[in-house]
A = this chain, B = another copy of it.
Amino acid sequence: MSTARGRHEGISDPSVRRLSLYLRHLESLSSRVETISSRALGAAVGLGEAQVRKDLAQLGSFGSPGVGYRAADLVGGLRRALGTDQDWDAILVGVGNLGRALASHGGFVSKGFRIRAAFDADPAKIGTTLGTAPPSVEPIFVQPIESAPAFVAAHAIRLAILAVPAESAQAVTDALVAAGVDGLLNFAPVRLVVPSHVVVNSIDLAAQLERIVFELGPKAADAEPA
C-alpha cells in the first residue's frame, strides 16, 4: 500500500487487513448465529482473542460483556469502517488473461465492487465481451484505452484495477488520476508514483510465491560432492 495514511480513523494497516478477515468469516456464518465471542472469532481466523477485541473496539461498541458481539451489527460496523456499506464503481484497464479473470471475479460483486467498463490498448480486443461467466455479472464491452479518462470523468469513477504490462502502468495511471481516479489496485510489478491524495495497492503475484519459498527455506541441497 502507499500514501494517504489515516485520512479518517487511525486504524493501522495490519488492523485493516484483519477487519477484512473478520468480515469474511462473519459473512460466511448462518444468519441464525446471533452473537460471537472474541475467542471464537479469533479461532476462526487464526488470531488471539485480545487482538480481536483490540481491533473491534476501534469501531465502536458491538459487544456485551458475558455475551459477545452481535454478529449482524458487527457486520454492519465492519462494512461501514471499511467503506463497503456502499457500492463502489470501478473500471478495469488491461484485458489480458489476468484482466479477463478479474472482470469475471464473482468475489468483487458480492463485496460491493462493480466493474463498470473495461479498456485495452490492443485494437483486436476492442468490442469483445467480458465477464459473462458467472450469473449476475452483466457483460462488459471492451473499449479503447484512450476513452478511459472520459469514461472516468463522465461516471465519476474513483477506482481502477490495473492489469496492464509494467511498461505502461505509470502512463495509464497518470491519465486515470488526471481524470479523477483516486484508488488503484495494481497488478504490475512496478511502483506507481501518484499524488498524495491517491491510494495505491500493488500486488505482485510472483512476490507472493517468493514469500512462500522464503519461509520454506532452501530446497534440499543437492548432494554435496565430497
A residues neighboring B (CB under 8 Å): 1-2, 4-5, 7-8, 11, 13, 16-17, 19-21, 23-25, 28, 44-46, 81-84, 86, 88, 90, 96-98, 100-102, 104-105, 107-108, 110-111, 113, 133, 158-159, 161, 166, 182-185, 189-191, 199, 201, 203-219
Contact = CB atoms under 8 A, between A and B. Distances in A.
Nearest to A107: B206
21 contacts: A8-B218, A16-B214, A20-B207, A23-B210, A24-B207, A81-B214, A84-B210, A96-B133, A97-B100, A105-B205, A107-B206, A108-B209, A111-B210, A113-B209, A183-B216, A185-B209, A185-B212, A199-B212, A199-B215, A199-B216, A201-B209
A108 B46 contact: no
Contacts of A88: 209, 213, 219
A208 B203 contact: yes
Contacts of A105: 97-98, 205
Contacts of A206: 20, 107-108, 110-111, 113
Number of this chain's copies in the assembly equals 2
Contacts of A191: 21, 25, 44-46
Contacts of A208: 185, 201, 203
A185 to B, nearest CB: 6
